[in-house]
């Protein structure tokens, strides 16, 4: 496996992102070492808040939430393999949904995180919830936003349009994609920060192929694995909150299955984040940080 590593100078002077990277090396099933980066801020003796991003963003997405949370919580925001400061296998065939779950499972165990509060969005949920299902004893509570864990039962029109676009555009403009998925206009510097992990198109194999892995048909890989994960979630009685936004056509209605199927979701103060697009972390970071902080306080 050929592995690309984005030069460090691509990440200098990013707006509102002063956080130093922390690295953990894991070994892929093929025997290849992969370096996974994360932001790790706040008191080390505090329980971790795990912030998991999706496609095609990286931990930069959480810059407006890390700062207000890190005074009271240990805030850990990893970059998925293929994204951000993490290593990037060069070929699209190097990636799969199950490989992403395995990579982040190895990372989670290497970090030895426990008593975790998970906040996850987009692919951060598809992967993060699989971590919850694999290691439920490590998670104290979960907040899901604009995500899901599909099991081959179809796709929304919004996702269908995104899937087609992602696989046909000659250049994959990560920064502009995040901008289009946010309700506020990102600055040119912020858009450039989302492009920073990718010096050229060869670094984008993971980002480009990701949408094809969403198991939206019965024939997709990972349908069985997601069904097994749902079985675990249907017994998960720890606090579980939905905080979807009102302006995301891709995930609209995706909060309902979590509210009805996860025991820990019963009686929680589920909310709709008003004025939020798909990347609601860009649109409502202060509100989301306050929600996480209050949810932890109320469910200790």
Residues belonging to the active site: 122, 248, 278
Q: Which alpha helices (H) appear in the chain, and where do they start and end?
A: 63-69, 97-111, 123-134, 157-168, 174-180, 188-195, 205-209, 223-233, 255-261, 280-283, 285-298
**C-alpha closest to that of 84 among 144, 131, 17, 129:** 17
Query: What gap in Å lies between CA 170 and CA 60, rounded to an integer?
Result: 25
Q: Which residues of 76-88 are buried (b: 16+ CB within 10 A; e: fewer)?
A: bbbbbbbbbbbbb
Torsion of the alpha carbons at 128, 130, 131 and 135, rounded to the nearest 10: 150
CA 194 from centre of chain: 14
> In what helix (H) or strand (E) does residue 143 lie, and over which residues does it extend?
strand 139-145
- Dihedral-angle region of residue 235 (phi above 0 means left; psi in -120 to 50 means alpha; beta otherwise): alpha
Instruction: Centre a 10 Å sphere on the Cβ of residue 112 and count the other Cβ atoms it contains.
Output: 7
Q: Sign of dihedral through CA atoms 60, 144, 257, 127?
A: positive
The C-alpha angle with vertex 47 and arms to 45 and 48, in degrees rounded to 5, equals 110
């Amino acid at each position: 496996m050929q592995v690309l590593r984005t030069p460090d100078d691509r990440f200098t002077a990013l707006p509102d992102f002063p956080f130093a990277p922390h690295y953990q090396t894991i070994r892929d099933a093929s025997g290849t070492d992969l370096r996974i980066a994360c932001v790790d801020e706040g008191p080390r003796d505090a329980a971790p808040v795990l912030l998991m991003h999706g496609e095609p963003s990286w931990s930069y997405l959480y810059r407006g939430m890390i700062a207000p949370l890190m005074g009271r919580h240990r805030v850990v925001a990893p970059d998925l393999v293929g994204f951000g400061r993490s290593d990037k296998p060069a070929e699209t065939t190097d990636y799969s949904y199950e490989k992403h779950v395995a990579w982040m499972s190895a990372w989670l165990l290497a970090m030895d995180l426990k008593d975790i509060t998970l906040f996850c969005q987009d692919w951060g949920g598809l992967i993060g919830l699989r971590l919850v299902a694999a290691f439920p004893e490590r998670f104290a509570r979960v907040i899901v936003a604009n995500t899901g864990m599909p099991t081959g039962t179809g796709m929304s029109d919004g996702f269908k349009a995104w899937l087609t676009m992602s696989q046909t555009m000659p250049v994959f403009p990560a920064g502009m994609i995040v901008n289009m998925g946010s309700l506020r206009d990102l600055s040119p510097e912020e858009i450039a920060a989302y492009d920073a992990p990718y010096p050229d198109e060869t670094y984008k194999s993971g980002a480009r192929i990701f949408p094809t892995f969403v198991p939206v048909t019965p024939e997709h890989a990972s349908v069985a694995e997601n069904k097994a994960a749902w079985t675990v979630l249907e017994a998960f009685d720890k606090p579980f909150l939905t905080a979807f936004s009102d302006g995301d056509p891709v995930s609209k209605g995706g909060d309902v299955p979590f509210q009805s199927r996860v025991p820990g979701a019963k009686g929680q103060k589920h909310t709709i984040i008003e004025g939020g697009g798909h990347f609601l972390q860009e649109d409502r970071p202060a509100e989301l940080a306050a929600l996480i902080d209050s949810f932890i306080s109320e469910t200790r």
